[in-house]
Amino acid sequence: MKIVVLDGYAGNPGDLSWEGAEALGECTIYDRTAPTEKLERVKDAEIVLTNKVPFCAEDFEKLPNLKYIGVLATGYNIIDTEAAKAHGVVVTNIPAYSTNSVAQMVFAHLLNITNSVQHYTDEARAGVWSRNPDFSYQDTQLMELHRKKIGIVGLGNIGKAVARIAIGFGMEVFAYTSKSHFQLPPEIHKMELDELFRECDIISLHCPLTPATNNLVNAERLKTMKPTAILINTSRGPVVNEQDLADALNNGTIYAAGVDVLSEEPAKADNPLLTARNCYITPHIAWATKDARIRLMQMTIDNLQAFLNGQPINVVNK
């Protein structure tokens, strides 16, 4: 079997090993692949592993040898799965490998916003605290999470992990979810979406990107939030209208936002969130702890081995 990895650097920048894939076939690994390089690199491949390099219907027409695409991520919208199925190509993904890492990033953003740890570290190093007449120096509003209301949009694996952490902080947890009230633990309360945005102190987004969730957070919805509210987005960039969020932050409609995803990545230099007031941005790294990447690599090999054994798992185009 000829195996081609098109963009392996993000998941394995050199601190992990591809030996599991190399043991299963003739394996060629590229750190990155430009659109113009894709078809040439995979023209003879039976197996392709890709993180963000897309495959459309026209690609499948040109790749008669292709039998399997392993997406090196949970989201698989980069693949035309119907076209893949029509051409007999199995497509798999890697579910739930980064659940705890992403939930951790939610609270990294939230604690950064509520406690301003980096800000006060910078102030102390600059001598501001040393020059202060009082033992305690404070120039921002600090917030306690205990008894604050957190609204979770989407209660899948990550949403549930965020809920568990929030419960540990003593927060009141509400969720917009398709699950019925009877499917939820007693600590999580079901709430309709508009009420969630209106009533909660923190909104954390964990929904997939679909036509229904595209532009879910927009000017109209932001206007219903508390002026002290915080928005966290670790789901997908287009779930949020970025200009509307920037305007809401700059106008004081809401207090702050923490985002790990943007509508275009890498970020365009003119993205309005880059200069928005109280907007804290991480470059799509919530998934990327070494622990999560080790799981991703192992699940990639498990998926590939299962396919070669004739019993594919985590198939997304059955």
Give every CB contact of residue 107 below 8 A, 6+ residues apart in sequence: 162, 165
Nearest alpha-carbon partner for 85 in 108, 101, 69, 98: 69
Helix (H) or strand (E) run with residue 190 in it: strand 188-190
Give every CB contact of residue 48 below 8 A, 6+ residues apart in sequence: 3, 4, 5, 6, 42, 55, 66, 68, 69, 70
Catalytic residue among 61, 144, 195, 265: 265
Distance CA 99, CA 295 (A): 11
Distance CA 128, CA 138 (A): 10
Is 236 a known active-site residue?
Answer: yes
Catalytic residue among 109, 206, 236, 295: 236
Is 284 a known active-site residue?
Answer: yes
Catalytic residue among 87, 189, 198, 284: 284
Is 265 a known active-site residue?
Answer: yes
Give every CB contact of residue 162 below 8 A, 6+ residues apart in sequence: 103, 106, 107, 150, 152, 204, 206
Distance CA 273, CA 154 (A): 23
Just list the catalytic residues. Answer: 236, 265, 284
